[in-house]
Amino acid sequence: MEEKRVKIRIVLVPVPAQGHITPMMQLGKALHLKGFSITVIQTQHNRVSSSKDFPDFQFLTIPDSLPDSDIKKLGTIQFLIKLNQFCEATFKHCLGQLLQEQGNDDDNIACVVYDEYIHFSKAAAKAFQIPTVVFSTINATAFVCRSVLAKVNEDQFLIDMKDPEVQDKVFQGLHPLRYKDLPTSAFGPLESVLKLYSETVNTGTASAVIINSASCLESSSLAWLQQELQVPVYPIGPLHIAITAPSSLLEEDRSCIEWLNNQKPSSVIYISLGSLALIKTKDMLEMAQGLSNSNQPFLWVIRPGSIPASEWTESLPEEFDKLVSERGYIVKWAPQMEVLKHPAVGGFWSHCGWNSTLESLGEGVPMICRPFSGDQRVNARYLENVWRIGVQLEGKLEKGIVERAVKRLIVDEEGAEMRKRAIDLKEKLETSARSGGSSCSSLDDFVNPLKTKNS
């Protein structure tokens, strides 16, 4: 229910990527329902252009000086480092103008909430004496990992990470995470990853940290952060359970819902690898063979550009079409939350991005975990080892392994047990998002002092 307007504005600064925009816009909606006015300051790249879905929000754009062609070449980590360098001045200018305009109104700016990966907003907010709040769009455990990694002996760590014998060992203090589960790989050279981490965990002058997670998922990591960061930590997630805030950058193909309507309950494996992961032709074929051999129907999102050197699927051999034609349905982009809610879906093969993980947990759908990089490995380890609702595929992707994983999840008793645990967790998450629940109360604990201080 929407609360009374309070004439207090909150400025949001998202990372321009789907997995970060989605939770930031959900947070914006949640804060708007609490009575705040919302301004979203975004960079030119990947903008939310949603006056339809967010008619009451103000959207401002700052130049980022990064042509699309450069972004592809840079890779995620270098892109974020450059974005932080380029945007500090443009953000300051934009915030200064907003404050001037606000002077004519009587809206106070209570704080700037920025995605942890875009710390360029810190300096400007400080210059204008506006409090800053960090929003972590990934989980608390990955935040803990980053804090630990930011302090490791870099030389020794770089040696360890190259040693194959170390990979399966549990990293001291981060049980059950092994070296190979640490959020380091594939986003860029390890040295740059460590540099970015030391910036992101340095919450510096921030007055609070908000995390899109719930205490029933990661209580010990949240407690660790609470102690380590020395500012209040508010686990307010998963936001999507209570909030609808459509912010898809790609067009959703809804025909897959009709296809799902014709499938048996809990029979379909839904496959999506998120908005960034790339997959080799060879792996696509192994997946298609394994899926076809499992005899289960499958709904597969193949995002345009996700197969290197290919616009969409044109580089795949004819054999691929034959393998998927009998039981498969392919789309370029799906209405994922609606798909996961659908009674026909029995399992989710995911790259384990944090949003996809939360969306699956929120619907009680067990998972096949094939992480690619960063925090996805942490999530996959937790899904399999801590929450015990996932099967992780490690090492080389082979059709036999794929077929076995699908059967374990959809057909075997083991899968039924995982589904029970997943439904149990879904109920806990729903309780935490309801009035009086831990995440709902945590959001109130965050907003109530802002209202009092600025009224």
- Total residues contacting ligand UDP by CB under 6 A comes to 18
Q: Whole-number minimum distance, CB 228 to ligand UDP, in Å?
A: 24
Helices (H), 262-398: 281-294, 318-325, 336-341, 354-363, 376-381
Interface mask toward ligand UDP for 323-362; x: CB under 6 A: ----------xx-xx---------------xxxx--x---
Judged by beta carbon, residue 251 or residue 413, the one nearer ligand UDP is 251
Give whichever of 179 and 333 is closer to ligand UDP, judged by the CB atom.
333
What token pair was written down for 435? Answer: 């009035």
Cβ nearer to ligand UDP, comparing 78 with 248: 248
HSE of 337, CA atoms in CB hemisphere, 13 A: 16
Report in angstroms how near the CB of residue 243 gets to ligand UDP at its nearest: 13
Q: Which is nearer to ligand UDP, 231 or 337 (CB)?
A: 337
Residues 6+ apart with CB under 8 A from 401: 290, 393
Which span (116-124, 149-157, 274-282, 407-415) binds ligand UDP, by CB under 6 A? 274-282
CB-closest chain residue to ligand UDP: 19
For ligand UDP, the closer of residues 45 and 126 by Cβ is 45
Nearer to ligand UDP, 353 or 415 (CB): 353
- Please report, as residue ranges, which positions from 78 to 117 form the binding site for ligand UDP (by CB under 6 A): none
Does position 76 bind ligand UDP by CB under 6 A?
no
Q: Which two tokens stand for residue 323?
A: 């393998």
- From candidates 98, 216, 276, 367, binder to ligand UDP by CB under 6 A: 276
CA dist 436 and 442 (Å) reads 9
Site for ligand UDP in 277-316 (CB under 6 A): 301
Identify the three-state secondary structure at position 271: strand
Which one of residues 16, 237, 274, 290 is an interface residue with ligand UDP (CB under 6 A)? 274
Tell me the closest approach of the beta carbon of residue 18 to ligand UDP, in angstroms.
5
In terms of CB distance, is 94 or 271 closer to ligand UDP? 271
Question: Which region holds residue 388: left if phi is over 0, alpha if psi is between -120 and 50, else beta?
Answer: left
CB of 248 to ligand UDP, least distance (A): 5
CB-nearer residue toward ligand UDP: 18 or 141 = 18
Least separation in angstroms between residue 261's CB and ligand UDP is: 18
Query: Which residue is associated with the tokens 């490995």?
Result: 377
Minimum separation from the CB atom of position 302 to ligand UDP (A) = 9
> Which among 455, 373, 379, 386 is positioned nearest to 425, based on CA atoms?
386
Site for ligand UDP in 15-44 (CB under 6 A): 18-19, 22
Residue placing its CB nearer to ligand UDP in the complex, 248 or 266:
248
Beta bridge partners of 13: 114
The answer to whether 332 and 312 have CB atoms below 8 angstroms apart is yes
Question: Of these, 248, 313, 385, 431, which contacts ligand UDP (CB under 6 A)?
Answer: 248
Closer residue to ligand UDP, CB minimum distance, 143 or 333: 333
In whole angstroms, give the CA distance from residue 312 to residue 304: 5
Look up tokens 């094939």; give the residue.
Answer: 370
Instruction: Give the three-class secondary structure for 262.
Output: coil
Assess contact for 292 and 321: CB atoms under 8 A.
no
Nearest distance from residue 272's CB to ligand UDP, in Å? 4
Pair 244, 455: CB distance under 8 Å: no
| Long-range pairs for 248-252: beta carbons < 8 A, 24 or more residues apart | 248/18, 248/333, 248/335, 249/18, 249/21, 249/46, 249/48, 249/275, 250/18, 250/275, 250/303, 250/332, 250/333, 251/332, 251/333, 252/333, 252/334, 252/335
Say how far apart CA 45 and CA 91 lie, in whole Å: 14
Phi-psi region of 398 (alpha: psi -120 to 50; beta: other; left: phi over 0): beta
Our finding on whether 224 is near ligand UDP (CB under 6 A) is no
**Judged by CB, which is closer to ligand UDP: 125, or 301?**
301
Tell me the closest approach of the beta carbon of residue 348 to ligand UDP, in angstroms: 10
Least distance to ligand UDP, CB of residue 357, Å: 7
Residue 256 beta carbon to ligand UDP: minimum distance, rounded to whole angstroms: 9
Q: Tell me how far, at minimum, the Cβ of 351 lies from ligand UDP, in Å.
A: 6
Closest CA to 218 of 151, 142, 147: 142
- Is 14 or 353 the residue whose CB approaches ligand UDP more closely? 353
Which residues of this protein are in contact with ligand UDP, per CB under 6 A? 18-19, 22, 248, 272, 274-276, 301, 333-334, 336-337, 353-356, 359
